[in-house]
């Protein structure tokens, strides 16, 4: 199979994983998401892992339903950002804090929303360049109702470039940095902080 078709298959499998999460139930759905991602990373030809023989699974902060919220999308003038266009921002409250994150649209055929973020765990428990919360091109989203977008930081994940230098990944811009620790989602393997 060609690499293009293999990548297409990988993205379809990611989309199927998130489709199950969208109809799933809390921690049980999250555990299924984790197992499915580990299996995909361990077995698929398009895995971001260079040495799958040494791969024993991704690491995560413990599941906490308090990290799930909704954000209100507020549109703004479109501003280019690399291959993306900033289309607005999400306003939300989580863990007793008010916050905003920019929302981007992939400015290519088919498009898709993209929400990267950084927080105070970056560089220690998580990758210094931030993590991703939504990437609908890959099917990595939990849905929306009108302008209310589901944000569940338990599903935050590292970009592929964390696992291998063969991948180039957009990193969270300065205004996508939260001023608090997000102790939810994927963390660096072996980190307990």
**Could you tell me whether strands 186-187 and 131-135 are parallel, antiparallel, or unpaired per DSSP bridges?**
unpaired
**19 occurs within a structural domain:** yes
> What gap in Å lies between CA 190 and CA 193, rounded to an integer?
9
Domain count of the fold of the chain: 1
**192 occurs within a structural domain:** no
**56 occurs within a structural domain:** yes
Q: Is 69 exposed, middle or buried (0-12, 13-18, 19+ CB in 10 A)?
A: middle
**172 occurs within a structural domain:** yes
Q: Maximum CA pair distance of the chain?
A: 49
The pLDDT of residue 25 is: 85
Beta carbons of 118 and 177 less than 8 angstroms apart: yes
Beta carbons of 108 and 83 less than 8 angstroms apart: yes
**193 occurs within a structural domain:** no
pLDDT, tens digit only, all 193 positions of the chain: 688 899 889 989 999 999 999 998 899 999 999 999 999 999 999 999 999 999 999 999 999 999 999 999 999 999 999 889 999 999 999 999 999 999 999 987 678 999 999 999 999 999 999 999 999 888 888 999 999 999 999 999 999 999 999 888 999 999 999 999 999 999 998 755 5
Residue 20 structural domain: 3-187
**23 occurs within a structural domain:** yes
**30 occurs within a structural domain:** yes
Q: Is 163 left (phi over 0), alpha (psi -120 to 50) or beta?
A: alpha
């Amino acid at each position: 199979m060609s690499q293009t078709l293999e990548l297409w298959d990988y993205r379809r499998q990611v989309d199927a994983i998130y489709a199950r999460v969208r109809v799933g139930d809390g921690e049980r759905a999250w555990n299924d998401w984790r197992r499915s991602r580990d299996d995909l990373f361990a077995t698929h030809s398009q895995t971001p892992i260079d040495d799958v023989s040494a791969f024993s699974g991704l690491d995560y902060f413990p599941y906490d339903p308090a990290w799930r919220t909704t954000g209100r999308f507020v549109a703004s003038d479109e501003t280019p950002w690399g291959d993306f266009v900033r289309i607005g921002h999400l306003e939300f409250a989580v863990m007793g804090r008010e916050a905003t994150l920019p929302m981007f649209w992939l400015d290519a055929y088919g498009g898709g929303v993209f929400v990267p973020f950084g927080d105070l765990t970056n560089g220690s428990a998580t990758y210094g360049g931030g993590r991703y919360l939504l990437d609908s091109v890959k099917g990595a989203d939990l849905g929306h109702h009108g302008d209310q977008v589901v944000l569940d930081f338990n599903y935050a994940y590292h970009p592929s470039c964390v696992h291998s230098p063969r991948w180039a990944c957009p990193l969270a811009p300065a205004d996508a940095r939260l001023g608090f620790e997000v102790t939810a989602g994927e963390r660096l393997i072996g980190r307990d902080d």
